[in-house]
Amino acid sequence: MVSGFLGALPMTAVIVRSSANVRAGARTKASTLLHGVWLLLFAVALPGVLALIPMPALAALLVHAGWKLLDPVKLARAARLDRAEAAITVITAVTIAAADMLTGVLAGLALSIGLAAWRLSHVTVHWRDTGDGGVHVQVAGNGTFLRLPQILRALEGVPHASSVHLDLTGLRHLDQAAQVTLEDWAAQRAKNDVHVHTALPQPVG
């Protein structure tokens, strides 16, 4: 009830009930508010009626609702677009079935956070000989402190040349730690009479 009062659209505290609201055609926060009212009414005024519902029947309803949430057709379509996300969905569903709802949700949340952290910190460093005595170094992805060891190892492998073109235009994000690392590497090369040209990423927005 509080969730609906604060403005949550057909969402409740449990994803299965949120799904039931959406499938019933809910469009406003009144659905959430009334959902809480009905639950409170049955729990307070009609506990004897609730006790008459067989537990296996409630379990079957929960499994049915969960299966509809999983939606194998959409899952197969999602797997073609992003296998990692689809794998997390499957692992979460299996963990919920094997253990319990909380354990499954926490497992899925932990995997999702790990995947997001890996993707947000994923960076590649490639270099190639330009053929005129110079080297073209391209850094792409997300340059963060989480990948500093990888960046440093890759930069150490760049051969010495008369000129270096440091291409950072492929970076979607560059934090201060990674920026300082790249600047220090470029400055070190410049001290050795190497002409260094840096192409900076375009600012977002």
Instruction: Summarize the confidence of residues 191-197 as an average pLDDT.
Output: 87
How many domains does one find in the chain?
3
* pLDDT given at position 205: 39
* pLDDT given at position 71: 79
Q: Is residue 38 part of a domain?
A: yes
* Residues in Cβ contact with 123 at an 8 Å cutoff, skipping those fewer than 6 apart: 139, 140, 141, 142, 143, 144, 147, 150, 151, 171, 178
Same domain, 97 and 75: yes
Same domain, 11 and 21: yes
Q: Is residue 61 part of a domain?
A: no
Q: Is residue 35 part of a domain?
A: yes
CB 91 within 8 A of CB 75: no
Domain with residue 126: its CATH number is 3.30.750.24
Same domain, 133 and 195: yes
Same domain, 37 and 91: no
The shares of helix, strand and coil residues in the chain, as percent rounded to the nearest 5, are 60, 15, 20
* pLDDT given at position 66: 75
Range of the domain at 29: 1-54
User: In the structure encoding, which two tokens stand for residue 97, read together?
Assistant: 């079935």
Same domain, 105 and 126: no
Q: Is residue 205 part of a domain?
A: no
State yes or no: pLDDT of 4 exceeds 80. Answer: no
More confident of the two residues 6 and 124: 124
By mean pLDDT, which of 2-6, 40-44, 122-126, 152-156 is the weakest?
2-6
Same domain, 117 and 142: no
| Domain end marker among 28, 54, 80 | 54
* Tens of pLDDT, residues 29-51: 888 888 888 888 988 988 888 88
Q: Is residue 109 part of a domain?
A: yes
Same domain, 7 and 29: yes
* Tens of pLDDT, residues 47-98: 888 889 899 998 888 788 777 777 788 888 888 888 888 899 999 989 988 8
Strands across the sheet with 123-129, in order? 123-129, 134-143, 163-174, 195-199
Q: Is residue 204 part of a domain?
A: no
More confident of the two residues 10 and 172: 172
Instruction: Summarize the confidence of residues 178-199 as an average pLDDT.
Output: 89
Q: Is residue 59 part of a domain?
A: no
Q: Count of CB atoms within 10 A of residue 81's CB?
A: 8
* Tens of pLDDT, residues 109-151: 999 999 888 877 788 999 999 888 899 999 998 888 878 888 9
Q: Is residue 63 part of a domain?
A: no
Same domain, 110 and 167: no
* Residues in Cβ contact with 145 at an 8 Å cutoff, skipping those fewer than 6 apart: 175, 177, 178
Same domain, 194 and 128: yes
Same domain, 109 and 139: no
Phi, psi of 51 (to 5 degrees): -70, -20
CB 158 within 8 A of CB 166: no
Phi, psi of 150 (to 5 degrees): -65, -45
By mean pLDDT, which of 6-15, 52-61, 174-183 is the weakest?
6-15
